[in-house]
Structures are given as structure tokens and as C-alpha cells.
Amino acid sequence: MKTLQTFYFDTGVRPYGHSNPPMILSEGQVWKDGTKQIPFDCEDVPSGALFMFACPKADLPESKYPFVIVREIHNSTLGSKFAYFRVCAPD
């Protein structure tokens, strides 16, 4: 069984950036590093991989790029089904 790893989609929204009083988080959202973020889990993501973007499709042209992997999103309120990651080139 593969282990799920948690990643975060950074919305860029700050608590006081759009309203006063501060924004209220929806279910499944967290304040992290000063912005509203949405956690999501993926399996089989190599150590050091960088999250690029989330998308409803797994077959965008980027999925064919060298050093890009696509993983299904689990356990999230994020509206997308797939996460694209850039992986480090092997030494």
C-alpha cells in the first residue's frame, strides 16, 4: 500500500485582504504561511517534488513533459481531480 502525502494549494488569499472582519475558512481550508490554503493528499510523489498546479484533467500537454508527473488528488475539498508536480532530474 502506498502512503498518502499531504500538499497544500495556496489560494493567495490573506485573512484581511478582502474583508473586515477577516475571512472565515470553509470546510477543509486552513491558514498556513499567512494565506488560505486547501490541503490535498496524493500518493507516490517523490521526495523533493514541487507542486505546480491542480487540474480536472490528467492529460494536459504538461503531462508529457520530462520531469513532470500527474497524481490523483484524494481527501480534499479542492475542485480539481489531479495534481501536477515537477520532479528533480536524476543525478
For residue 48, what is its C-alpha cell? 523533493
| Number of structural domains found in the chain | 1
Quick check: is 49 in a domain? yes
Residue 42 near residue 78 (C-beta atoms within 8 A): no
pTM: 0.83
3-state secondary structure at position 21? coil
Quick check: is 77 in a domain? yes
Q: Say if residue 21 is preceded by a cis peptide, omega within 30 of 0.
A: yes
Quick check: is 91 in a domain? no
Residue 12 near residue 45 (C-beta atoms within 8 A): no
Q: Which domain holds residue 12?
A: 4-86
Give the pLDDT confidence of 13-68 residue by residue, as tens digits.
887 766 666 677 888 888 888 888 999 999 999 989 999 999 999 999 999 999 99
Nearest by Cα to 41 from 81, 68, 88, 11: 81
Q: Give me the torsion for CA of 12, 57, 6, 37, rounded to 10°.
A: 20
